[in-house]
Amino acid sequence: MAVRDDSGGLTTFPPPAGCWSMAAGGGHIAFQCGYPDRSTPDPVWPASVMSATGDERSDVDAHLPGLISRVGTQWIQIDQGTDGNWTTPMRSALLDWRTGEERAADPTDPAVRMDADAASGVSPLCAPLRSVPRSPAMRPFGLSLLPVVVHAPWALVTTDDGIVGDPHSGSVVFRGAHTTLRRCGAAGPVAVPKAFGRDAVLGYGWLGANVRVNGRRRIDLMRLADGRRFTVPGRGALSFTGGRLYIFDRPGKTTTDYHEGSVATVQLPRR
């Protein structure tokens, strides 16, 4: 079933001037705004967080170069990426988008997860879930544990980061992360259609994934409460918040070539 909102389709709007959209969560949308001036002793990376309703906006400078991967009610998660040649490590940090507090973030306990909504920046995983350790070959170049996203009672566990090759030689290919849907309190995985087995996104009772069917791209959605599936035209980075799906178009071939693009959103079906 195709998703349509009250206006008959997707609503599209531009990001703030000079910014591009990165993530949505906790009722907010996070934008990256320009690139840091690395010629200065203390370069800053401007960011902006706006409420999904548009009635609140907070601008903050990050002293931690990287790209926003997640936003919550308190924190922005910033992934400080490699230099593109895999000769420097990737790390993550948290930035309080209201106060500007910054802190390193690399949980090593598989029973906890990073949580952009929690005051501490981390939360315990619901039993019996555990994060998967990163492969020994990739551990020097990334976080200790692969990501887990939780929107209780559902959790999306990354089981393989999809990175193939030898990072020491700079020969690395990204083939898409493998994810497994889990339910808090259940021992085994939850079966999902094949479309949601790679690079899926979990949010507030929904799964989403970009797929290609007969040469055409679209977004597949599944409501976890009843397994009902929906489709949305288009493609882009996906986020859920406030009962809506957000689709971020970030033109540019690489993460250092992003520019403004657009944000599309649609109300998720309630029945």
- Residues 26-64: tens digit of each pLDDT: 999 999 887 777 677 777 888 899 998 878 889 998 887
> Which whole-number Å values give the CA distances from 74 to 27, 30, 100, 104, 115, in the listed order?
11, 12, 10, 15, 9
Q: What gap in Å lies between CA 129 and CA 238, rounded to an integer?
A: 24
Q: Which pLDDT does position 7 carry in this prediction?
A: 43
- Residue with the larger pLDDT of the pair 181 and 199: 181
pLDDT band at 85 (very low <50, low <70, confident <90, very high): very low
Domains annotated on the chain, with CATH: 11-267 (2.120.10)
pTM over 0.75: yes
CB–CB of 204/154 below 8 Å? Answer: no
Question: What sign results for the dihedral spanned by CA atoms 12, 16, 22, 24?
Answer: negative
pLDDT band at 98 (very low <50, low <70, confident <90, very high): very high
Residue 256 has pLDDT above 60, yes or no: no
Q: Which pLDDT does position 131 carry in this prediction?
A: 93
Summary count for the chain: helices (H), strands (E): 0, 23
CB–CB of 102/64 below 8 Å? Answer: yes
25-39, 41-55, 178-192, 251-265: which is most confident = 178-192
- Residue with the larger pLDDT of the pair 125 and 271: 125
Residue 155 has pLDDT above 80, yes or no: yes
pLDDT band at 133 (very low <50, low <70, confident <90, very high): confident
Q: How many CA atoms lie within 13 A of 35 on its CB side?
A: 8
Residue 86 has pLDDT above 50, yes or no: no
